[in-house]
Chain A
């Protein structure tokens, strides 16, 4: 097992090397993330401005600010470029070259995206968090909640990988993967709770969001971070749900990948 996994480490290291050639990219990602966070943070802070103590959904001003800011940072961790790279390789037919190698393409992609996630966390996530700490008051989490959040974040990265891989695989069907990616981005951001916490959605919409896998990408980690759960059972339930979706989506990816390859035609082999 370890020997098989070791095959994939070169993909991770080469991913990191190619990434570090474009260091200015991180400054730009940080800027866009900060801008995105500022829009939602200011919008919701204006809502909570008139209400002292706990406002709508039981959030304080600090809570809602922390929620939206960390949600934006999680979103940066989820932007692993798997969707556009897979789509482009399928679309150009480059994927055929990959198939000759004795590795699984989806697993290879997973390892190649790990350094992207790590670098984004350190070079984008931390500076943006630091910047906002200076500007607006935030809620400090309890140590136990921070631990739960860490576990939940790892699972959310896995979920995001699966969702992005599935999005990239639409390259088998359409040439306008740009449109598909844009729809995915908006829908996921909304139903994950990045723009509006699930606790502030009306009943039916919240029920729908809770039934979808995207909740595990943003809302679940943040519910844990802010300690907005009832006892250990509920916390464990949230993590278990994320885990179940991660396993389910991985299996779906594997199955669809196999089916798609069976139908793949590449010209000019």
Chain B
């Protein structure tokens, strides 16, 4: 067991290095990719700024609180983006073009094999850096002082959020085993995740319920931020349950899909 673990870790380390090497070769692509995220987040921040030019609070949230939420939402998203964006390729074309078999013939787990094809998407770095800067700035403006427990929990919250993003992406990408290409569905789910960058209190209750219990993006930013900003635990207890559930569901769908693919053998 530990031997397989170390083997996978060493492989991931090595393949991550290969990914970094690509960074140096396609420097312009990296600059454009990371720059694109900077522009996108910059504009999102500008929109929040313009909203708060009109009113001091939205849905009970102040300007700096919303900035904190926006910044925090980028951390799990960026972390997920850094390692698992190869799933987009699965949803887009790997099944459609019959190229998926090549992940089944390698002596590692197919999911690892697929992700390892591009283990390091440097575009995600842009999101992580901007997210950290926004959280730091908004936190200091708010005079936020976290308790030791909150400091300890914060990285766990980010990690759980990243796993939630990954689960949803894996689930929708795996649908391509049945529908040939699931790119539009993945795109739609990704679009819905944008909701998590704003306080859920402003949305219609039905939408709020959807984001909490169906596509649980509320747990990637809103729930952790409520806890970090106010200390109220609220829905926080559900976070590990929802994360584990989403991950289990996504992996089941993935495994079923892979088995199905073997059967048709196309």
Contacts and interface: CB of A to CB of B under 8 A. Distances in A.
Interface of A: 24-25, 28-29, 31-32, 35-36, 38-39, 42-47, 50, 55-56, 135, 174-176, 178-180, 182-183, 186-187, 189-190, 195-196, 200-202
Per CB-CB distance, the 4 closest pairs between chain A and chain B, nearest first, are A179-B32, A28-B184, A176-B29, A182-B36
Q: Most chain-B CB neighbours within 10 Å: which of A44, A47, A50, A189?
A: A47
B220 to A, nearest CB: 15
A39 B39 contact: no
A39 B198 contact: yes
Interface of B: 26, 28-29, 32-33, 35-37, 39-40, 43, 46-47, 50-51, 53-55, 58-59, 123, 184-185, 187-188, 191-192, 194-195, 198, 202-204, 207
Contacts of A35: 188, 191-192, 194-195
B29 A175 contact: yes
27 contacts: A31-B191, A32-B187, A32-B191, A35-B194, A38-B195, A38-B207, A42-B198, A42-B204, A46-B202, A135-B204, A174-B28, A174-B32, A175-B26, A176-B26, A176-B28, A178-B36, A179-B32, A179-B36, A182-B37, A182-B39, A183-B32, A183-B40, A190-B43, A196-B50, A200-B50, A200-B54, A202-B53
Q: What DSSP secondary structure best describes chain B's contact surface?
A: helix
Q: What DSSP secondary structure best describes chain A's contact surface?
A: helix
A39 B28 CA distance: 33
Contact of A190 (B37, B47, B207): B47
A42 B32 contact: no
B32 A176 contact: yes
Nearest to B59: A46
B40 A46 contact: no
A72 to B, nearest CB: 11
A187 B58 contact: no
A186 B188 CA distance: 17
A112 B18 CA distance: 41
A43 B58 contact: yes
Nearest to B186: A28
Nearest to B185: A28
